[in-house]
Chains A and B, each alone.
Chain A
Amino acid sequence: MAEKEKREKIPRQPMPEQDPKERGKNFNEVPYGYTPELAQREAKRCLQCKKPKCIEGCPVGVKIPEFIEMVAEGNFIAAAKKVKEDNSLPAICGRVCPQEVQCEVLCVLGKKEEPVAIGRLERFVADYERAQGVVELPEIPPPTGKRVAAVGSGPAGLTLAGDLVKLGHQVTIFEALHKPGGVLVYGIPEFRLPKAIVEAEVDYLKRMGVEIKYNYVIGKILTVDELFEMGYDAVFLGVGAGLPVFMNIPGENLCGIYSANEYLTRSNLMKAYLFPEYDTPIARGRNVAVIGGGNVAMDSARTALRLGADNVYIVYRRSKTELPARAEEVHHAEEEGIQFKFLTNPVRFIENEDGWVVGMECIQMELGEPDDSGRRRPVPIEGSNFTMDMDLVVIAVGTGANPVITSTVPNLELNKRGYIVADPETGKTSREGIYAGGDIVTGAATVILAMGAGRQSSTAIHECLISKG
């Protein structure tokens, strides 16, 4: 008991990070991560609960107290291996998981003080292992002779591929873009998730034997049925929710108005922030409005700042409490000087003679009765219109289901919003042998949920392939 009390006395260890003023000018990662000393101190806070609540909050069931105990003891490599038993992308999840609503929210320490920094520790062990260059390959069983195709190399497809090669199946990922990672590479910016980390994780999969074919837009170059004809025994669709949603208000097609997908793809995937070293251009605004309040909006706003904007506004139609973005992202954005305009909604965009956006007419909102989602519905206040001067606008109000693939698979059941209907336990779709998971099933969600879906489908596919003999 004495031991336990002593542990509780240590405060949650902060993670060192770049100064907000400095980092607003570069694309380097914001937090530096724990040092081994900080990690050990933080790990010692964990009470090693007999019935650890934290695990229940993790969609893939990482053995949290076990790995944390190893960190406390200084066995960082063993800790990394322990995490990887359940989570094949810990360096990524440690950075981007919404821990405050998943594992950490359930940590018992959180009742009296701050929860154990599970995400920071997970990130630490994965980074430590990679830095030591000791990422060992697991033993791969003899080939089963079964072949699986994964469409899309986002977290869902990568997880599925890793799981299935470890079981001796042959896996090919077909990716539409020229780089692997899905949103991890085209959406989430470098300053939040360095692309070298995604590359390292993908390299690891390749070394295990996963084959990745780039520039394959399935539904165009090959259909899913043709994949079966080529001899694949099962096909997993992890194509994400790649369709930008616009607001359908006047002036939305003016120059200088981007969907967040376009803005972030130009900057991240095409490296437009390094223009003209890289050829893809991106408009640099002085006064930038980002419409929306999720992670995507925060990423867009912080990107605009780094591209040299004087003023960056997050324009959100509800209030601060309803912001769907992770608390840490909002905090980082505020620190960097992003300005929040709550209860504000654009109604039209104003242009100059060249067709560029120069302003935005908005209307003030107030919160009414709760809607289906339980959040209070924003209602416009009649006559409260006002205009803001803007020379760049990024629309980050959500994404939808891209029909390129779903429209080319006959008899694949979709819901009324165009997402694939799949069994929540196994990812089975209405078509035999076709599985689906991640954002194309759930709508825009999280990295870890997409990984969880990949994991479930890999288990189901494995059982099916083995039972067929």
Chain B
Amino acid sequence: MFKILKKREMADSTVCHFNVEAPLIAKKARPGQFVVLRPNETGERIPLTMAGTDPERGTIDIIFQVVGKTTALLRTFREGDYILDVIGPLGRPTHLEKLGTVICVGGGTGIAVLYPITKALKEIGNHVISIIGARTKDLLILEEEMGNASNELFITTDDGSYGRHGFVTDAMKDLLEERKDVKLVVGIGPVPMMKFVCKTSEPYGVKTMVSLNAIMVDATGMCGACRATVGGKTQFCCVDGPEFDGHQVDFDELMKRQAAYLKEEKVSYELFLKEHGQ
């Protein structure tokens, strides 16, 4: 049982931030790693990246977007409530290296996943330029945190309600044109966005890391639910990743696999809404 110490809603209540008591995980976790959590006895196991950790206080932060049954259920949890199971830290930590200039690109809730990596890249001495984007102003998260974690910050919105009008990839292309010293791009967000980040960086020959959010079950390499094709080979995102060289990833396959349970997810979510009188 893992206690929720703090809860905060953001982005028009479509995103939730929990600060959860998990002392051992907090001590061990490294940027890029995630936890799996199961809210209750009948619940599903879902992976969420740790957006932050506080080893002294023994807490971890998770930030999730409400997209279906499990995340909607989690949003009903209040401060002081307990999450039944939290398993972690899982996945390989981000490979951190001092390279020079690095671009961090985040879209939607992917910004929460990107944040600890951005912070760590800057801390070891990289010049970090971040680009974060959302559909519209109200859905943008972690602007202040990303600002503090980066040397430069650019913002885009699809509808132009805030920052630059357009996609993160537009801003990214301009930067790659201007600066010839970019050594690495880290792109995290919805799969279509990551695919375009990779397409954009490819002509410039800049190595691009992405974090693959495949559907998972155990997240210990036991089931193979999370397999993705990377460089023509099958990889398990939970143990071989979640970060991979984006230029090698078969994104179309990943998108199809992510959509495998749309029908069931709809059934689950509608049942949840009915039970919760919505």
Interface set of A (CB-CB < 8 Å, partner B): 176-178, 214-215, 217, 220-222, 242-244, 246, 248, 252-256, 258-259, 261-262, 265-266, 270-271, 275-281, 283, 354-356, 402-404
Contacts and interface: CB of A to CB of B under 8 A. Distances in A.
Given A242-B220, A242-B221, A281-B268, A354 B42 contact: no
A279 B37 CA distance: 13
Given A253-B253, A279-B42, A244 B224 contact: yes
Contacts of A265: 217-218, 222-223
A258 B87 CA distance: 23
Nearest to B36: A215
Given A243-B222, A265-B222, A355-B256, A221 B44 contact: no
Contacts of A279: 42-44, 69-70, 268
18 contacts: A220-B88, A221-B25, A246-B227, A253-B229, A255-B256, A255-B260, A259-B224, A261-B223, A262-B224, A265-B217, A265-B222, A266-B217, A270-B217, A276-B267, A279-B69, A281-B268, A354-B259, A404-B221
Interface of B: 24-25, 28, 38, 42-45, 69-70, 84-90, 217-218, 220-225, 227-229, 234, 239, 253, 256-257, 259-261, 264-265, 267-268, 271
A275 B264 contact: yes
Contacts of A254: 256
Contacts of B259: 255, 354-355
A243 B221 contact: yes
B42 A253 contact: no
A221 to B, nearest CB: 6
B224 A261 contact: yes
Interface centre among B224, B259, B268 (most CB of A within 10 A): B224
Contacts of B253: 253, 355
A431 to B, nearest CB: 22
B264 A246 contact: no
B218 A222 contact: no
Interface of A is mostly: loop
Nearest to A279: B44
Given A178-B85, A275-B264, A402 B221 contact: yes
B265 A281 contact: yes
Nearest to A219: B220
B45 A220 contact: no
A256 B215 CA distance: 13
Contacts of A242: 220-222
B243 to A, nearest CB: 16
B75 to A, nearest CB: 15
A171 B116 CA distance: 37
A427 B66 CA distance: 48
Given A221-B24, A253-B257, A255-B257, A246 B224 contact: yes
Contacts of B90: 217, 220
A262 B260 CA distance: 14
Nearest to A263: B223
Given A176-B220, A253-B228, 17 more contacts: A178-B38, A178-B84, A217-B90, A221-B24, A222-B28, A242-B220, A242-B222, A243-B222, A244-B222, A252-B234, A253-B257, A256-B260, A259-B224, A261-B224, A265-B223, A270-B45, A276-B264
Q: List the 9 closest pairs (A to B, CB-CB), nearest first.
A: A355-B256, A281-B264, A262-B223, A242-B222, A279-B44, A255-B260, A259-B224, A215-B87, A244-B224
A63 to B, nearest CB: 37
Nearest to B228: A253
Contacts of A283: 260-261
Nearest to B90: A220
Contacts of A220: 28, 88-90
A276 B70 CA distance: 12
Contacts of A176: 87, 218, 220
A280 B256 contact: no
A399 to B, nearest CB: 9
Contacts of B70: 279
A259 B257 contact: no
A255 B214 CA distance: 12
